[in-house]
Chains A and B, each alone.
Chain A
């Protein structure tokens, strides 16, 4: 399997704290890779480094085999690498359709065209339907429930048809019914060729959905393998339960 995303020796310090410490792993194309670890193990920082929201002190990020020099969120998004945030981030005063239309990556020459063209709208409605949000299409995003906002955020990152999606706790604070919707969507999208890197605390979901599973602790990779392997690893148990 070829690696879509590789990180090598990634290190990030915040003052005296080493948040990510010579961390290396890769995300094979076409997988749903999980990134798990106790609170403060550096998962979100890894996300921020990979997506350009923070710059690493040392280390490399490779996308599709090419080294990404000075990762930048906009450029990476336009190369097909996009992310969601721990707290659902959306455009609250815009409607759901506008949220999605804004997330279509437009070329410069298109900026004078109509904000939401009929084809943009069609594409947005199709996606909203897949997320059971169709009847709310023209409501303001601010009026959604928290779980629905999570779904909308997921939908926005799919608008531009990315290749690799980083999901930061996609089911945190979401009711069980919506968790199912999210899980189903992730599986379907993987079938269509999308690759996922998922940070998630819901271990049942991780064990059901993800392979491989990468375990971080103190900013460095502790274990990697398929779910059963990782679950049986004594070092992982130590890290979670505290030895």
Chain B
């Protein structure tokens, strides 16, 4: 077995213990509601990070898998009875598996492109998925939407099961990231991010490893979508395939620090409550958008690489002075002498 520093495991366990205890301490429904949205975005951003953070391929289409997961849950319980209690949560792994499998051919097509083209292609695929949800009426009932099972939880703590389910998916995303990052798969994904041509030249099966990471990432995104559908009890195309979810997810991952374990989570933890607070406080005057933007500006100004990378760079700087290059580079002089 691989050794993981005890402090990191302990720290992670503490974070999740605090997250899990939260709805038992705080009972105000509107706060727990913000908690659900926050943890939802944390899960989405962490799932996104699992592919885009490791490979450097910026996917703008992940929100499509959120929608697919949401529809999958709602449609499943239109055909199967037994929804209403905890059953939909137990089906989530299947939803994730299904979404992951569905994502494979899509990723295979999109991954024929790179860099900015990949971002645009995935964005296009997202809008195609949205259009399909509107137009495949036989399956999605078009703009009428699909009803998810009606939850039978008590009104006083209605949000709590959803909150905990979101925490569960988030934990799965963080654990998956940590595991992959420490495995050979993770090393290969980083090699792809660093220099894909070089990776190919040493025999790394770049397409295969990208597909695996994409499918896991899409599957987790689908699970978040499933919880969300059950929470809202109704799925409409414009909300299941929502560009705002897409933008929010990617922004939070960027602001928190993509390619880091806790960055996307931190990004969501800062931004979602800020957004919700601004919305309730200044929502009537639309000034809330100014406040929300101000949060972005402040973070970008002081931590341009994202919260986690900037903080750890700062901590390193305090700990030791910047290291000197290993050896003077005589290469240029040699070139000059040779010519």
In the complex, the chain A residue whose C-beta lies closest to that of B181 is A115
Asked whether A51 lies within 8 Å of B184 as measured between CB atoms, the reply is no
* Complex contacts, B188 vs chain A, CB 8 Å: 102, 106, 111
Most chain A CB neighbours (cut-off 10 Å) among B200, B325, B333 = B200
Query: Is the CB of B281 closer than 8 A to any CB of chain A?
Result: no
Q: Which residues of chain A (37-66) have a CB below 8 Å from chain B?
A: 51, 53
Q: A112 vs B209: C-alpha distance in the bound complex, in angstroms? A: 11
Q: A82 vs B201: C-alpha distance in the bound complex, in angstroms? A: 6
Most chain A CB neighbours (cut-off 10 Å) among B187, B205, B206 = B187
Query: Is the CB of A68 closer than 8 A to any CB of chain B?
Result: no
Query: Is the CB of B100 closer than 8 A to any CB of chain A?
Result: no
Q: A145-B328, A148-B327, A174-B334 known; 13 other A-B pairs, CB under 8 Å?
A: A73-B197, A73-B200, A89-B197, A89-B201, A94-B194, A101-B184, A103-B204, A110-B184, A111-B184, A143-B326, A172-B335, A173-B334, A179-B334
* Complex contacts, B183 vs chain A, CB 8 Å: 111-115
Q: A134-161: contact bitstring with B at CB < 8 Å (1 yes, 0 no)? A: 0010010001111110000100110110
Most chain A CB neighbours (cut-off 10 Å) among B185, B202, B205, B327 = B202
Query: Is the CB of A108 closer than 8 A to any CB of chain B?
Result: yes
Q: Which residue in B2, B194, B205, B334 is a CB contact (below 8 Å) of A175?
A: B334
Query: Is the CB of A78 closer than 8 A to any CB of chain B?
Result: yes
Q: Categorize the interface residue count of chain B.
A: 35 or more
Query: Is the CB of B314 closer than 8 A to any CB of chain A?
Result: no
Q: A160 vs B199: C-alpha distance in the bound complex, in angstroms? A: 13
The secondary-structure label for the interface of chain B is helix
Q: What are 19 inter-chain pairs, A to B, with CB distance below 8 A? A: A73-B197, A74-B205, A90-B194, A92-B195, A98-B190, A102-B202, A102-B204, A103-B202, A113-B183, A143-B323, A143-B325, A144-B326, A145-B331, A146-B329, A146-B331, A157-B202, A173-B334, A174-B331, A175-B330
Q: A85 vs B198: C-alpha distance in the bound complex, in angstroms? A: 8
* Complex contacts, B331 vs chain A, CB 8 Å: 145-147, 173-175
Asked whether B198 lies within 8 Å of A89 as measured between CB atoms, the reply is yes
Q: A63 vs B81: C-alpha distance in the bound complex, in angstroms? A: 61
Smallest beta-carbon distance B305→chain A, Å: 13
Q: Which residues of chain B (169-214) have a CB below 8 Å from chain A?
A: 179, 182-188, 190-191, 194-195, 197-206, 208-209, 212
Smallest beta-carbon distance A208→chain B, Å: 15
Asked whether B201 lies within 8 Å of A83 as measured between CB atoms, the reply is yes
Smallest beta-carbon distance A136→chain B, Å: 6
Most chain A CB neighbours (cut-off 10 Å) among B197, B206, B338 = B338
Query: Is the CB of B332 closer than 8 A to any CB of chain A?
Result: yes
Q: Which residue in A51, A136, A173 is a CB contact (below 8 Å) of B335?
A: A173
Q: A126 vs B38: C-alpha distance in the bound complex, in angstroms? A: 49
Q: Which residue in A74, A77, A91, A144 is a CB contact (below 8 Å) of B194?
A: A91
Q: Which residues of chain A (76-134) have a CB below 8 Å from chain B?
A: 77-78, 82-85, 89-94, 98, 101-103, 105-106, 108, 110-116
Q: Which residue in A74, A83, A179 is a CB contact (below 8 Å) of B204?
A: A74
